[in-house]
Amino acid sequence: MTTITFQGKPINTSGELPAIDSPAPDFKLVNGKLKDVGLAAYAGKRKLLNIVPSLDTPTCAASARMFNQKAANIANTVVLLVSADLPFAQCRFCTSEGLQNVIPLSTFRSSFADDYGVRLIDSILAGLTARAVVVIDAHDKVIYTELVAELANEPDYDSVLRVLALAE
């Protein structure tokens, strides 16, 4: 369990992010066609997991836009936008925002939030995910993690982009 804050009040996650240099936990997330996808769907590519509570919040929307613009053009990298939103809502959001360089994936019917230690276990947001970034290399090894300490804040984009640039 890890403690973060939401508007300054402590809230807890279900665990901890995977350790740097450890194998990335496989996952089943649901895409816009209601199909389960896992790490194998992105074999041989680097995966930037932009994990957000809900795309219906300004901070989550901002990080989706930023990674769509900045990280999606990095060679051999996919940006996976992971939230608890239903796949239909994720697709509608990406279409309305013109986000073509991210792949929205839902934690709907998935243990992902627990497997990655990001499920919020208390507060009014219990059941959603904490805001986090996990970068996985082409061999499915974790090379970067960030659990954003204050849920209302955006991730450290510069650090994520530096790690991706160095991993090229």
Active site residues: 60
> Do residues 29 and 38 touch, judged by C-beta distance below 8 A?
yes
Q: Count of CB atoms within 10 A of residue 70's CB?
A: 16
How far, in whole angstroms, is CA 67 from its chain's centroid?
A: 11
Side chain identity at residue 61, one-letter code: A
Distance in angstroms (rounded) separating the CA atoms of residues 73 and 127: 32
